[in-house]
Structure 1
Amino acid sequence: MNASTLVQKLWNYCNVLRDDGMGYGDYVEQLTFLLFLKMADERTQPPYRQKSIVPAAYAWPTLVAQDGDELFDHYRHVLEALGQQKGTLGLIFGKAQNKFQDPAKLRRVIVDLIDKENWSALGVDVKGDAYEGLLEKNAQDLKSGAGQYFTPRALIQAMVDCIAPKPDEYVCDPACGTGGFLFTAYNYVIAHHPNLTREQKQHLRENAFTGVELVQATARVCAMNLLLHGIGSETSVPVQVTDALASDPGERYDVVLANPPFGKKSSTMIVGEDGRTTSEKEIIERDDFWATTSNKQLNFVQHIKTLLDIHGRAAVVVPDNVLFEGGAGETIRRKLLHECEVHTLLRLPTGLFYAQGVKANVLFFDKKPASETPWTKTLWIYDLRTNQHFTLKTAPLKREDLDEFVTCYHTANRHARVPTWNADAPEGRWRAYRYDELIARDKASLDIFWLRDDSLAESDNLPAPEVIAQEIVDDLEAALEQFRLIAADLGGGGSALED
Structure 2
Amino acid sequence: MNTQDACRLVLGLIYVRNKEQESVLRAGEDQGGRGERPPWRWLVDQAARPAPLGPDVRRCVSAWLAPVLRTEDGDAGQNFVPHLPPTVDDQLRNLIAEIDRADRVVELLEQCLAELSTAQARRGHYFTPQGIVQLMVEAVAPQNGHRVLDPVCGSAGLLAEAERYVRERTGLQPNLSLRGQELHADTLQIACLNLAARGIRADLGPPADSLAKPADDVYDIVMANPPFNLSAWSAVPPADDDPRWTGTVPPRDNANHAWMLHLAHALAPRGRAAVLMADGAATGLRPSERRIRARLIGEDLVECVVALPPGLFPHVRISCCLWLLNRDKSPHRGWGSVDRRKQVLFINARSAYEAMTGTRQRRLAADGADRILRTLFAWRGVPTTQGETPRRYENDPRWCTSLSTTDVADAGHVLLPTVHALEPADEHTAARERVEDLKWELYAKFEESFALERDLRQLLDEL
Distance 1:46 1:433, change over 3 A: closer
Is contact 1:308-1:367 (8 Å) kept?
yes
Q: Equivalent residue for 2:394?
A: 419
Which 10-residue stretch deviates more, 297-306 or 462-471? 462-471
Distance 1:104 1:468, change over 3 A: same
Matched to 1:407, the amino acid is R
Q: Does 1:351 align with 2:311?
A: yes
Name which of 373, 376, 381 aligns with 2:346.
381
Is contact 1:155-1:399 (8 Å) kept?
no
Name which of 233, 258, 267 aligns with 1:308.
267
Q: Equivalent residue for 1:259?
A: 225
Matched to 1:29, the amino acid is R
Q: Deviations over 1:69-94 (max 9, x none)?
A: 997678778889998x6764449964
Figure out how many residues of one structure are paired with residues of the other and give that number.
412
Q: Equivalent residue for 2:369?
A: 402
Q: Give the match's secondary structure for 1:333.
A: helix
Q: Equivalent residue for 2:182?
A: 213
Is contact 1:340-1:367 (8 Å) kept?
yes
Q: Distance in 1 between matches of 2:316 and 2:236?
A: 24
Name which of 10, 24, 37 aligns with 1:31.
10
Unaligned ranges ≥5, structure 2: 330-339, 383-389, 448-463
Distance 1:303 1:361, change over 3 A: same
Q: Distance in 1 between matches of 2:297 and 2:34?
A: 53
Is contact 2:229-2:278 (8 Å) kept?
no
Distance 1:301 1:59, change over 3 A: farther
Name which of 389, 398, 414 aligns with 1:445.
414
Q: Deviations over 1:256-287 (max 9, x none)?
A: 122112243145xxxxxxxxxxxx85544462
Distance 1:202 1:409, change over 3 A: closer
Q: Equivalent residue for 2:244?
A: 289
Is contact 2:353-2:368 (8 Å) kept?
no
Matches within 5 A, 1:357-376: 357-367=317-327
Q: Equivalent residue for 1:454?
A: 425
Distance 1:71 1:192, change over 3 A: closer
Q: Deviations over 1:331-378 (max 9, x none)?
A: 221222222431211011101112212311011111259xxxxx9511
Q: Equivalent residue for 1:164?
A: 141
Deviation for aligned residue 1:34: 3.8
Q: Deviations over 1:131-169 (max 9, x none)?
A: 00121233334x654774322222222222222221222
Q: Distance in 2 between matches of 1:259 and 1:100?
A: 33
Q: Give the match's secondary structure for 1:139.
A: helix
Q: Give the match's secondary structure for 2:325.
A: strand
Q: Equivalent residue for 1:4?
A: none
Higher relative contact order (CA 8 A, sep 6+): 1
Q: Distance in 2 between matches of 1:441 and 1:228?
A: 48
Q: Equivalent residue for 1:103?
A: 86
Q: Does 1:191 align with 2:151?
A: no
Q: Distance in 2 between matches of 1:379 and 1:229?
A: 37
Q: Give the match's secondary structure for 2:373.
A: helix
Q: Equivalent residue for 2:335?
A: none
Is contact 2:273-2:324 (8 Å) kept?
yes
Q: Deviations over 1:264-319 (max 9, x none)?
A: 3145xxxxxxxxxxxx8554446221233333222221111122111111111111
Q: Give the match's secondary structure for 2:402.
A: strand
Matched to 2:288, the amino acid is A
Deviation for aligned residue 1:223: 2.2
Q: Distance in 1 between matches of 2:443 and 2:423?
A: 22
Q: Give the match's secondary structure for 1:396.
A: strand
Is contact 1:256-1:314 (8 Å) kept?
yes
Q: Give the match's secondary structure for 2:403.
A: strand
Q: Deviations over 1:443-462 (max 9, x none)?
A: x222351525637x226851
Q: Give the match's secondary structure for 1:364.
A: strand
Matched to 2:95, the amino acid is L
Q: Deviations over 1:413-455 (max 9, x none)?
A: 279862333xxxx4x211122211222333x222351525637
Q: Deviations over 1:165-189 (max 9, x none)?
A: 2122222211111222222222222
Q: Distance in 2 between matches of 1:82 and 1:176?
A: 23
Q: Give the match's secondary structure for 2:316.
A: coil
Unaligned ranges ≥5, structure 1: 1-21, 268-279, 370-374, 478-499
Is contact 2:307-2:416 (8 Å) kept?
no
Is contact 2:53-2:92 (8 Å) kept?
no
Q: Distance in 2 between matches of 1:246 and 1:95?
A: 30
Q: Distance in 2 between matches of 1:38 and 1:439?
A: 56
Which 10-residue stretch deviates more, 33-42 or 430-439? 33-42
Q: Give the match's secondary structure for 1:363.
A: strand
Name which of 225, 231, 234 aligns with 2:194.
225
Is contact 1:254-1:309 (8 Å) kept?
yes
Deviation for aligned residue 1:103: 3.0
Matches within 5 A, 1:30-69: 30-40=9-19, 47=26, 56-57=35-36, 59=38
Q: Give the match's secondary structure for 2:276.
A: strand
Q: Distance in 2 between matches of 1:343 and 1:416?
A: 18
Q: Give the match's secondary structure for 1:433.
A: strand
Q: Give the match's secondary structure for 2:374.
A: helix
Distance 1:108 1:473, change over 3 A: closer
Deviation for aligned residue 1:56: 4.9
Q: Equivalent residue for 1:131?
A: 109
Q: Give the match's secondary structure for 1:354.
A: coil
Q: Distance in 2 between matches of 1:281 and 1:171?
A: 28
Q: Distance in 2 between matches of 1:215 and 1:131?
A: 21
